[in-house]
Amino acid sequence: MDYRRIAAYQMMLCRCTAGRDYDVHTYPHREFFGALSGMYAVRDWSNDAVYGHVSLAQMRQPGFAHAHVPSRLDIETVLSYLSTNALPTELGLTILEFANYEPNCLSIVPDDPLHVENAVQLRKYLGYCWRLLVRCDILAKACGKRVDWVGETTQCIFHLFGVKYPKMFNYGAEEEANEGFRIWKGNEIERCWIKFA
């Protein structure tokens, strides 16, 4: 089974790379996955029947159906091809610049981040993501706040894999909140309290 056809992977890819008004946080994800701005749209997490039933190519937005996102290896290949036809490198670079052919994908094998040849880039990408989370935690603590990492991770897993939220209290008990409980605001229908030990 191809992991790229699993609904959780497709939701994660759309969520991490989809364009928004404030999309700076999507830049490293787009670069690693080779997704251009606007290539994928964020769909409703739980009610979209497309996730897991179509390929990633079919999920692309109109105008990106056959888009090729060049990698650094592609640039080297094109320059090598142009030089075998006796074109000087400077002219080859000018042609690439005129064609707006810039490397926007870190992966060596496109559209397959878990491919063996992408292992080095995947390790760098995951290291970057981890450092970003650590910095967010340090910043939150410096501001006197606390990030509920267990709650955030649990909520993400519930959403990605379609798991129903465990009910600890009945709906509408928000007034009786205390520090040990967390409100799930991601799904208004199944809003509930969950206590993490």
Segment 158-171 shows an average pLDDT of 63
Using the predicted structure, report yes or no on whether residue 120 has a pLDDT greater than 90. yes
CA atoms within 13 A on the CB side of 18: 15
pLDDT band at 192 (very low <50, low <70, confident <90, very high): very low
CA distance 138 to 132: 10
Residues of the chain with pLDDT > 70: what percent? Answer: 77
The residues near 152 (Cβ < 8 Å, ≥ 6 apart) are none
Task: Please measure the distance between the N-terminal and C-terminal CA atoms of the chain and give it in whole angstroms.
Answer: 36
Q: How many CB atoms lie within 10 A of CB 80?
A: 10
Burial (Cβ within 10 Å: 0-12, 13-18, ≥19) of residue 44: exposed
What secondary structure does DSSP assign to 156-194, as a single string? HHHHHHTPPPPPSS-TT-GGG--TTEEE--S-STT--EE
- Kindly report, residue by residue over 132-149, the tens digit of the pLDDT: 899 989 999 999 988 888
Segment 42-47 shows an average pLDDT of 59
- Kindly report, residue by residue over 92-103, the tens digit of the pLDDT: 888 878 877 777
Query: Could you tell me the two tokens for 91?
Result: 């002219």
Among 26, 44, 46, residue whose Cα is nearest residue 36: 26
* Cβ 89 vs Cβ 97: under 8 Å: no
* More confident: 105 or 186: 105
Task: Indicate the average pLDDT of the chain.
Answer: 76
Element (H, E) at 195: strand 193-195
Segment 174-186 shows an average pLDDT of 50
Using the predicted structure, report yes or no on whether residue 18 has a pLDDT greater than 50. yes
